[in-house]
Structure 1
Amino acid sequence: MAEIRHLRYFVAVAEELHFGRAAARLHVSQSPLSQQIIHLESELGVALLRRTKRRVELTPAGEVYLKEARRVLTAHARAEEAARRAARGEAGRLVLGFAGSAAYGVLPALLKAARERLPGLGVELRGEMLSSELVRALEEDEVHLAILLRTSTENPDLAVSVVYREPFVVALPADHRLARMRLVDLGDLSGEPFILFPRRRGAVLHDAVINACHEAGFGPTVAQEATELPTQVSLVASGMGVALVPASMRSLRYEGVVYRSLRGRPRAPDTAVAWRRESENPVVRSFLGVVRDFAGDAPNPPDGASSV
């Protein structure tokens, strides 16, 4: 069976039509090169070259074989490069889970950065998931990385890196008494009906909202619970209540809803990237390089938030 080196030797001779020039091009001696071509022809059972004392010519079989040999060598070069890129984590498939809150801030910017830096990497998205579900997905190897809300209880088998910090803003009905204010005191929302996550489904954001209200001197009156941030904002639009949401939610426009900054900028939960510490997957390492660059180079997030 012909080997890749035999194809390279034949292509060089066929293109040069001179064994001496082909040998110099290949950095081999002329005699072994001639022997390899004879061996190739013997294996194929056909003459590829017509040799005379004065010239070398391709036979009709040699012309066809040259075309196919070039095609094989091109495919082989592509395969070699693809394997090297995969080993460097520049190609392959990454399964990325994400919390719903990340869809309006970190996720779009991070995916754009990944496409620019790693165009050969395919990203399969799994979302929108709760942070607790993402931790379980990482533990069971269902996702390679996860963008989630950082909690105080970290799994020791997981590495976690904060990539984005932002404050809460308040989503108000457009006709609310505080809608005309550019900056709202959280304490002024005491007694207002609140829309927030049910704790059983979104403990991180639920607890963060409750704690922010307590620090402002009141406990929120819960009018309605909703498990998705867009649903909360739509309920605000209906006039059902107000909601504290991460500042990146400003990008979600709803008719009848205005977002206002809060005095003191109470902080929303940090957005982090998590992965298994022992992971040796090249695409994980490569994507983490994009994460580090994103965290270091991203412009200031809206409303005074900061990326780290």
Structure 2
Amino acid sequence: MNEPLIELRLWRQFLAVAEELHFGRAAARLHMTQPPLTQGIAQLEALLGARLFERNKRSVRLAAVGEALLPEARELLARARMLPERARAAAGGESGRLRLAFVSTVGFGLLPAWVREFRALHPQVAFELVEATGDVQLDALARGEVDAGVILHSPGFEPPGLAHLRIAREPLVLALPEQHALAAARAPALRRVLDEPLVIFPRRSLPSLHDAIVAMYHAAGRSPEVAQEAIQMQTIVNLVSAGLGLAWVPESVRQFQRPGVAYRQPAHRGVAVPVCETSLVWSPAAVPPVLERFIAFARETAAARPGLSPPPGA
């Protein structure tokens, strides 16, 4: 059964009469004559199937149903008055929902700070955060399940069909068991490091960075001995603490202080240790206003980071 659609005009008339308890004063408040106001209240009562007012020639008072509906009508009209302002806020990116996927490494510091700062500037924006590896993020972007993603990659990588903004750049460091012989050196020799079993993420999750690490081994005349693969950086560090091997991780992972794990920057000669970058990526074909505002915030914030200047228009 379809409920009757009641116009806001009738609720405004009801509220005026309910607050004035006088049809003449209510009509004057609404800048109308009394007969159409009386007709409007009668129409509303007919639509509701209930009497809203008890009235005679000398007085008007709210009936039980009118008493019950009065706070609801006030709230309804207040919300209706706010709609234009909310529409302007949404159109300007000041409110709305932002679905943001991210890799675990940015959860160590960059992402919490950004969310806190952005929400302080735009408290009406709600974040929907999803932790996911780069390959999962790209699929989610293609399906329209997220608005933007924060991915990890090697320098020069550009996700096909997506716009991107580089927001961080950092070296890879070595994570190794604290009791390992190489941990005794402040900067262990790279040639010795490359002979150790390796814990690494699968290529499908971070192909550009995976290839850069393998290329480092090949440049030194080695092939990596992969002892174990794991997707999340925290899991990789946990496996290192268990003694399964050594791992190359972004420097920001140092903040994950897992007992039994040491972080070192190896001494290298002639073979460069890769660096990694973090980028915000999104589909240029669908950029809602709230995402536009977040991109502008990210560009301004990233430009202020020491040693990182995003390319113009990135």
- Tell me the TM-score normalised to structure 2 length: 0.72
Structure 1 CA distance, aligned partners of 2:292 and 2:238?
A: 39
Letter in 2 for 1:195: V
Partner of 1:34: 34
Shift of 1:278: 1.2
SS in 1 for 2:146: coil
What secondary structure does 1:136 align onto? helix
The answer on 1:140 being equivalent to 2:143 is yes
SS at the partner of 2:158?
Answer: coil
1:23 CA drift (Å)? 6.5
- Contact residue 233 and residue 254 of structure 1 kept, 8 A: yes
Count of residues paired in the alignment: 292
Residue 71 of structure 1 aligns to a residue whose secondary structure is: helix
**What SS class does the counterpart of residue 239 from structure 1 fall into?**
coil
* Aligned residue number for residue 275 of structure 1: 282
Match of 1:241 in 2: 245
Q: Tell whether 2:128 aligns with 1:123.
A: yes
Q: Distance in 1 between matches of 2:34 and 2:165?
A: 60
Q: Distance in 1 between matches of 2:82 and 2:183?
A: 58
1:284 partner letter:
L
| SS of aligned partner of 1:59 | strand
Alignment of 1:1-308 (within 5 A): 3-17=7-21, 26=29, 29=31, 32-43=32-43, 44=45, 48=53, 50=55, 57-61=59-63, 64-65=65-66, 67-78=68-79, 81=82, 84=87, 86-89=90-93, 92-113=96-117, 115-116=119-120, 117-123=122-128, 125=130, 127-129=131-133, 131-150=134-153, 152=156, 154-155=158-159, 157-184=161-188, 186=190, 189-212=193-216, 217=220, 219=222, 221-228=224-231, 229-262=233-266, 266-292=273-299, 294-296=301-303
Say whether the 8 Å CA contact 1:236–1:257 is kept in structure 2.
yes
Which structure 1 residue ranges, 5 or more long, are not aligned? Answer: none
| SS of 1:142 mapped into structure 2 | coil
Contact 1:170 1:242 in 2 (8 A): yes
CA contact (8 A) 1:86 1:92 kept: yes
CA distance 1:274–1:70, change in 2 (3 Å): same
The offset of 1:98, in angstroms, is 2.9
Aligned-pair CA distance for 1:291:
3.3
* Percent pairwise identity: 32
* Contact 1:90 1:121 (8 Å CA) reproduced: no
Change (3 A) 1:171 1:153: closer
TM-score by length of 1: 0.73
Shift of 1:13: 4.3
Q: SS of the residue aligned with 1:175?
A: coil
